[in-house]
Amino acid sequence: MTSSDNSTKSKAITEREFSVLMEKFTPFSAKVALAVSGGPDSMALAFCVKRWAQRDCIALIVEHGLREESAAEAAQVKKQLQKMGIPAKILPWKHDAIPARVHEVAREARYDLLTKACHRLGAGDLLLAHQSDDQAETVLMRLAKGSGIDGLAGIAPKSVRDEVRLIRPFLSLSKERLRATCKAARIDFVTDPSNAKTKYARGRLRKIMPLLASEGLTVESLTALAARAREAKDALDHATQTFLETSAQTGFGGSVQLSRPALRGEPREIALRALGASLREVHDDVYPPEHASLSSLFDAIIGPEKEQTRTFYGCIISISENKVTLLREPSAASEILPLSPGATVLWDGRWFVTADSKAPKGSVRALGLPPHDILDSLAPNLRRRIPQGRIRATLPAIWKGNTLRAIPSFDKKPPFWVVFKKRPFP
């Protein structure tokens, strides 16, 4: 590496450079949020956003409670952000002891807290400070696990989670440059010691990255691999979407129907993606279907047997001669959520349930299979609109204890109504 290369790698990010990075993500919502941990990456992001900001912004600090000093650190980070002229909110994560997979559990909780805060604050975009070193580590970890194209594509520059757009402008920049930015702006930052612990996979990888780099597996080559894999993923996603538009139908109550002959005639990778996307439409879990099990299900679908029924991924898969119908598995739709007047909750990852301001307090859980006379008195047209009882059974209903009190309307009528997932909160 030349001295010029070294100089570039350690150069602070200029205002113009950051503006160019952000242009890739326009247009932005009226209010943006930024996730700030207090480390050098997120503090550099806060500084750059403050210089660039052309709109209302707010910093969100997740206080994870995994170390004794985390509460004090969060308070200190908030003070520093306020000195920079950036309003900040601390989001405490209340949790019991975490016996295993601490980083994975904490990551999911962090995103959940952040996106819910964005909804409350009216922020449609959330900026995150992942950089090229993070990208390289992610690709390497997924390579070690035998991931396919999607895994090797690494961290996405932009994505959507819970109706919030996640934006990562620093993926092409090194951690060294973010530290240089903090140093140039005289911004203090905190360091999480758990990042270096070899009990965690990322900590072990960081120890051997110099050795891998000497054999050609540099940060630059790994991030280039991610970029090429993402291009391939985008092409596969486009082909999958085209297939679904012509060969899939979504039912009124949240079911999906696929053409079995069309699945048989499609390249395996596209058909597998279409099947996986359809399962997630019925059951939108945090994690996608496991590949080996998905592949086994697909083999059954394209096989010679004319009719069969299977359960997988919280779904019932009904296979007939010419079609495959995916339904939510009633026993898996077990979530119970309190619902107060004027509130909206996301139930079972599929339905936004809203209570009118004058609605009685209750809880949301699955409708089940009540007698037809009770069903018809609470929702006169429901059996006509959704004839299949096993689809109706997985719809949300309002309960008071063990008494069924109401079945939310699909037409936004008080006192309760529902909207299928992937729609913004009312």
Closest residue by Cα to residue 173 from 191, 157, 196: 157
Q: Which of 4-8, 35-39, 74-78, 368-372 is the least confident region?
A: 4-8
The answer as to whether 267 is a domain residue is yes
Residue 201 pLDDT more than 80? no
Q: Where are the alpha helices (DSSP H) in 307-371?
A: none
The answer as to whether 101 is a domain residue is yes
Residue 422 confidence (pLDDT):
58
The answer as to whether 234 is a domain residue is no
pTM higher than 0.85 for the full model?
A: no
Where does residue 192 rank: exposed (0-12), middle (13-18), buried (19+ CB within 10 A)? middle
Q: Where are the alpha helices (DSSP H) in 216-284?
A: 219-247, 260-265, 268-282
Question: CA–CA separation, 394 vs 301, rounded Å?
Answer: 24
Question: CA–CA separation, 98 vs 68, rounded Å?
Answer: 15
Give the CATH number of the domain where residue 72 resides: 3.40.50.620
- How much is the average pLDDT of 385-391? 93
The CA distances from residue 153 to 23, 107, 222, 364, 422, in Å, are 22, 19, 10, 38, 24
Question: CA–CA separation, 315 vs 325, rounded Å?
Answer: 10
Residue 103 confidence (pLDDT):
78
As given in the structure block, the two tokens for residue 329 are 């598995």
Beta-carbon contacts of 209 under 8 Å, excluding residues fewer than 6 positions away, are 136, 137, 219
pLDDT band at 99 (very low <50, low <70, confident <90, very high): confident
Question: CA–CA separation, 312 vs 167, rounded Å?
Answer: 32
Same domain for 338 and 314: no
Same domain for 84 and 56: yes
The answer as to whether 86 is a domain residue is yes
Give the CATH number of the domain where residue 319 resides: 3.30.465
The answer as to whether 286 is a domain residue is yes
Same domain for 304 and 175: no
Same domain for 267 and 216: no
Same domain for 34 and 132: yes
pLDDT band at 426 (very low <50, low <70, confident <90, very high): very low
The answer as to whether 426 is a domain residue is no
Residue 4 confidence (pLDDT):
44
Whether 123 and 60 have beta carbons less than 8 Å apart is answered as: no
Q: Which of 67-76, 110-119, 149-158, 229-238 is the least confident region?
A: 67-76
Whether 73 and 225 have beta carbons less than 8 Å apart is answered as: no
Same domain for 415 and 288: no
Same domain for 323 and 340: no
Same domain for 299 and 345: no
Q: Residue 259: which domain range?
A: 251-331
The answer as to whether 245 is a domain residue is no
276-300 per-residue burial string, b: 16 or more CB within 10 A, e: under 16: bbbbbbbbeeeeebeeeebeebbee
Question: CA–CA separation, 225 vs 219, rounded Å?
Answer: 10
Beta-carbon contacts of 279 under 8 Å, excluding residues fewer than 6 positions away, are 289, 294, 312, 313, 315, 326
Residue 196 confidence (pLDDT):
60
Check whether the bond before 27 is cis (ω within 30° of 0): yes
Whether 61 and 89 have beta carbons less than 8 Å apart is answered as: yes
Last residue of a domain, one of 207, 224, 241: 224
Same domain for 326 and 346: no
pLDDT band at 423 (very low <50, low <70, confident <90, very high): very low
Q: Where are the alpha helices (DSSP H) in 10-86?
A: 15-23, 40-52, 70-83
Same domain for 183 and 57: yes
Whether 39 and 192 have beta carbons less than 8 Å apart is answered as: yes
Q: Phi then psi for 95, rounded to 5 degrees?
A: -155, 160
Q: Phi then psi for 256, rounded to 5 degrees?
A: -130, 140
The answer as to whether 81 is a domain residue is yes
Question: CA–CA separation, 282 vs 313, rounded Å?
Answer: 9
Residue 424 pLDDT more than 50? no
Greater confidence (389 vs 412) lies with 389
Q: Where are the alpha helices (DSSP H) in 53-101?
A: 70-83
Taking residue 16's Cβ as centre, other Cβ atoms within 10 Å add up to 9
Q: Phi then psi for 93, rounded to 5 degrees?
A: -100, 110
Same domain for 44 and 8: yes
Closest residue by Cα to residue 218 from 209, 231, 207: 209
- How much is the average pLDDT of 354-375? 96
- How much is the average pLDDT of 286-295? 91
Last residue of a domain, one of 178, 208, 224: 224
Q: How many domains does the chain have?
A: 3
As given in the structure block, the two tokens for residue 391 are 């689809």
234-273 per-residue burial string, b: 16 or more CB within 10 A, e: under 16: eebeebbeebbeebbeeeebbbbbbbbebbeebeeebbbb
Residue 148 confidence (pLDDT):
92
Residue 198 confidence (pLDDT):
64
Question: CA–CA separation, 127 vs 167, rounded Å?
Answer: 5
Q: With H, G, I as helix, E, B as strand and everything else as coil, classify residue 81.
A: helix
Question: CA–CA separation, 104 vs 111, rounded Å?
Answer: 11
Question: CA–CA separation, 81 vs 59, rounded Å?
Answer: 8
Q: What percent of the chain has pLDDT over 70?
A: 94
Same domain for 371 and 255: no
Where does residue 68 rank: exposed (0-12), middle (13-18), buried (19+ CB within 10 A)? exposed
pLDDT by residue (tens digit) across 21-47? 999 999 999 999 999 999 999 999 999
Last residue of a domain, one of 331, 354, 377: 331
Q: Which of 105-109, 292-296, 421-425 is the least confident region?
A: 421-425
pLDDT by residue (tens digit) across 155-197? 999 999 988 999 999 999 999 999 999 999 999 998 766 666 6
